[in-house]
Homo-oligomer: A and B are copies of this chain.
Amino acid sequence: MGAPYHQFCPVAKAMELLDERWTLLVIRELISGSQHFNELRRGLPKMSPTLLSRRLQQLTAAGIVERRPVGTEVHYILTPAGRELEPVVMGLGMWGIRWIGELGDQDLDPKLLLWDMHRQVDLSAIPPGRTVVHFRFPEVAPQLRTWWLILTPAEVDVCDDDPGHDVAVTVETTLRCLTEIWIGRQNWQQAQKGGQLTITGPAELRRSVPSWFKSSPFASVPRPEAALTGAVSPK
Contacts and interface: CB of A to CB of B under 8 A. Distances in A.
Interface of A: 1-25, 28, 46, 58, 61-64, 80-81, 84-85, 87-89, 91-100, 103-104, 106-109, 112-113, 116, 179, 182-183, 216, 218, 224, 228-232
B231 A17 contact: yes
B11 A96 contact: yes
Nearest to A235: B4
Oligomer: number of copies: 2
A88 B24 CA distance: 13
For A20, A80, A99, A116, the residue with the greatest tally of chain B CB atoms inside 10 Å of its CB is A99
A100 B6 CA distance: 14
Contacts of A28: 9, 11
Contacts of A232: 13, 16-17, 62-63
A14 B230 contact: no
A21 B19 contact: yes
Nearest to A82: B99
For A14, A22, A58, A106, the residue with the greatest tally of chain B CB atoms inside 10 Å of its CB is A14
A91 B218 CA distance: 18
A150 B135 CA distance: 69
Contacts of A89: 11
B10 A96 contact: yes
A37 B9 CA distance: 20
